[in-house]
Amino acid sequence: MTRILLLASFFVAIVSTTIAQQDPQFTQWYMEPAAFNPAVAGNSELTCVSGTYRNQWEGLDRDPNTSMLTAHTFVDALKGGVMLSAYSDALGQETNTLMKLGYAYHLEPLSNGAIVSLGMAASMFSKTLGNEWIAIDDYTQDQAIPNNKTSSSAIDLDLGIFIRKPGSFYAGLSTTHLMETELADLSMQPRRHVYAMGGYNHPLDGDYLVLRTNVLAKTDLAATIADINVNVLWDNMLWAGVSWRPTDAIAPTFGVEYAMEDKQRNSYSKQIFRLGYSYDATTSELRNYSSGSHEVFLSYCFKFESIPAKNRYANPRFL
């Protein structure tokens, strides 16, 4: 299964061209893949909250600005993970917002230690169009173009499958906007998107220096695009690398990670802070009009638990 998913990611990357941006696009997607695959929810022993902000194609008038917030955790009673995600995307006089609630069921580990999970998420997608049109002809004669600011919402579903071996590899396949529910007031229909993702960690010097590779391919079955990333993690603290989006951009990336772990007699805690930045140097024709894209990623993962006290009994006769 792992080889099939990784090969699917690579194949789609090779034939990539361009895609109409309907789902949000992030260069540092690999830092929080749960946003694109609900089966990732709860893939860590820690509860994770992450946020990403992207200013795309800086220099263009009303350039795209996207913000996303994602939180997920493993719940023992549910034998899986739960996830909450939200994003807001502004492009010109168009605004997209989405709220998503998901669950991932985790199967028993395989013989090699890998874990397979199956995920589903329900989403509320909303799109708003303004009325500040710039047109050569009189657009008011076209009934399909709204004269007033108009909004419409729709409920949809996401599905996904994910396999991972902590510290070694991961692969996943997912789909968003599964039902393609129409935005009735705008006479628009979101397109179903399919995502294939995979990654592998290759130790260069034990855990001290690790080469990490990540591939994401996405398609709406009309067009396809891919993100390919290679980065090196030093001492579980600093990372740097580069991402490539064929026909679109080359993006240097770097970040810092700081972990704190404390174990007391009656308590245990672990916290990890991550901060990442990427700069997309545009390689398409837009490079003549834009100075590039900036993206910032921030996450906080934590675990706090109490350790039950162990009662000890002694007989004074045998002290």
The reported pLDDT for the residue numbered 42 is 95
- On whether the CB atoms of residues 174 and 158 are closer than 8 A, the answer is yes
Q: Which residue has the higher pLDDT, 204 or 10?
A: 204
> At 20, is the pLDDT very low, low, confident or very high (cuts 50, 70, 90)?
very low
pLDDT of amino acid 6? 39
Q: Which residue has better confidence, 143 or 253?
A: 253
The yes-or-no verdict on residue 9 having pLDDT over 60 is no
Q: How far is CA 11 from CA 8, 163, 236, 246, 294, in A?
A: 5, 19, 31, 13, 28
Q: Which of 126, 135, 129 is nearest to 91 (CA)?
A: 129
In a domain, 78, yes or no: yes
Asked whether residue 317 is assigned to any structural domain, the reply reads: no
- Please report the pLDDT score of residue 2 as a whole number: 42
Domain total for the chain?
Answer: 1
Burial 18-42 (b: 16+ CB within 10 A, else e): ebeebbbbbbbbbbbbbbbbbbbbb
Specify which residues 118 forms β-bridges with: 105, 161
Task: Tell me what the pLDDT averaged over the chain comes to.
Answer: 86
- Please give the pLDDT value at position 316: 62
208 domain-assigned: yes
Helix (H) or strand (E) holding 3, with range, is helix 2-14
Percent of the chain having pLDDT more than 70?
84
Question: What is the structure's pLDDT at 264?
Answer: 87
Q: Which residue has the higher pLDDT, 272 or 264?
A: 272
* Pair 140, 147: CB distance under 8 Å: yes
Question: How does pLDDT run across 48-74, given as a tens digit for each residue?
Answer: 999 999 998 887 777 788 999 999 999
Task: Please list, in sequence order, all residues whose beta carbon lies within 8 angstroms of the beta carbon of residue 235, skipping any fewer than 6 positions away.
Answer: 208, 209
Q: Is the pLDDT of residue 311 over 80?
A: no
CA distance 197 to 8: 8
Q: Which residues neighbour 220 within 8 Å (Cβ) at sequence distance 6 or greater?
A: 19, 20, 22, 191, 192, 193, 194
pLDDT at position 130:
74
Does any domain span residue 177? yes
Count the neighbouring beta carbons within 10 Å of the beta carbon of residue 265. 8
- The fraction of the chain above a pLDDT of 90, given in percent, is 61
Residue 286's pLDDT is 81
Comparing CA positions, the residue from 98, 34, 105, 36 lying closest to residue 66 is 98
Q: Of the candidates 258, 188, 248, which has an alpha carbon nearest to the alpha carbon of residue 57?
A: 248
Classify residue 27: in a domain, yes or no: yes
Condensed to tens digits (0 to 9), the pLDDT of residues 99-154 reads 999 999 999 999 999 999 999 999 999 998 877 666 666 666 666 666 677 888 99
Containing 117, the helix (H) or strand (E) segment is strand 115-129
Q: Find where tokens 């834009």 sit.
A: 290
Q: Does a structural domain hold residue 316?
A: no
Largest CA distance in the chain: 102
pLDDT of 275 strictly over 90: yes
Comparison of pLDDT for 183 and 243, the residue scoring more = 243
Short-list 305, 300, 280, CA closest to 292 = 280
Helices (H), 181-251: none
| 47 belongs to a structural domain | yes
Start-to-end Cα distance in the chain? 60
* DSSP letter, residue 143: T
Instruction: Establish if 318 belongs to a structural domain.
Output: no
User: How confident is the model over 294-318, as a mean pLDDT?
Assistant: 80
Range of the domain at 17: 2-311
Output the pLDDT for position 293: 92
Burial class (CB in 10 A: 0-12, 13-18, 19+), 72: buried
pLDDT digits (tens, 9 = 90+) for 147-177: 677 888 999 999 999 999 998 999 999 999 9
Banded pLDDT at 265 (limits 50, 70, 90): confident
The letter for the amino acid at 49 is V
What's the pLDDT band for 37 if we cut at 50, 70, 90?
very high
* φ/ψ (deg, to 5) at 229: -130, 140
User: What whole-number distance in Å separates Cα of residue 238 and Cα of residue 275?
Assistant: 10
Element (H, E) at 99: strand 94-106
CATH of the domain at 136: 2.40.160.40
The reported pLDDT for the residue numbered 306 is 86
